[in-house]
Structure 1
Amino acid sequence: MKTFETLADLAACVGQDVAITEWVEITQQQVNLFADATGDHQWIHVDVEQAQKGPFGGPIAHGFLTLSLLPQFFDKTILVTQKRMGVNYGLNKVRFMSPVPVGSRLRGHLHLHSATPIEGNGMQFQWNVTVQREGSDKPVCAAESLVRIYA
């Protein structure tokens, strides 16, 4: 965990790779629960038997499940001690470059692209997040994530 006392301390890291997360395993149970939560029950995600005969040789995680790991990645790697709250402000760009087979382990690489002061004694941070699958050279996801933190 990287700890920063103030928003300015974190902002001083613009242009740097700030953190690499621990590995997170993607299970079939997570995929099934995500399918239930979103209504996306496509067979490549939830029908293990059919997915084994499909193009990926087994079930794969939803792209949006992979994307939904971003808050966890931030929460487990970066702490600003002098803050009231943080909110997800959105995404500028997201790409899913390769599938995530169930049983894969993923981790996030967090690069701070910019920090901009905002009203309410806060700062908007743009993070370039790359999600890597263990054993693969090709990222599974890349996203520009906007996070607002208020002191």
Structure 2
Amino acid sequence: MEDQLTLHPSRSRALMLIGLGALFVLLGILLLDSSPVVGTGGVVVGTLVLVAGIWNLLSTRDGLVLDRHGFTLRSMGREETVAWDEVVRFGPWPQGRTSLLGYELTAEARARRGRRNRALNVAAVRLDAPLPELYGKQVTELGSLMTAWKQRHDQDHA
């Protein structure tokens, strides 16, 4: 296994966001005469979704980076690193008809990070937070990959 692996956001997701944003903008424009508030809302929401889709499509920095220290989530100019020893496990995080990959933090990491929504998340899925996307993989495939990286790190420090 290599020392670092970078997974990039799915291009199809970015294209879907661009299409959805354009649709909202178009519908908003069509509704401006008959319902100005709804039309304006559609244009504003559509524009935001369109910008997010274009950002995802063009950004080379966004993604998920796995290395010997942990994993780093990079999205929309923000970055969050989670050390392998802060993670208890990975598991499916239901999201409508699909699932994202979620992770459970140790009690110490949870307290240090101040996860306010922990009670709700535990009641629903028994995980602390989801990854923002699957990076072109199935949830089980990404979960297995991240578990293997965690186990490798755990063995290196045992």
Instruction: Assess same fold via TM > 0.5.
Output: no
Shorter-chain TM range is under 0.3
**Which protein has the bigger strand share?**
1
- Tell me which of the two structures has the higher relative contact order, counting C-alpha pairs closer than 8 angstroms and 6 or more residues apart: 1
Q: How does the TM-score come out when normalised to structure 1?
A: 0.24
**Which protein has the bigger helix share?**
2
Say which one has the larger Rg.
Answer: 2
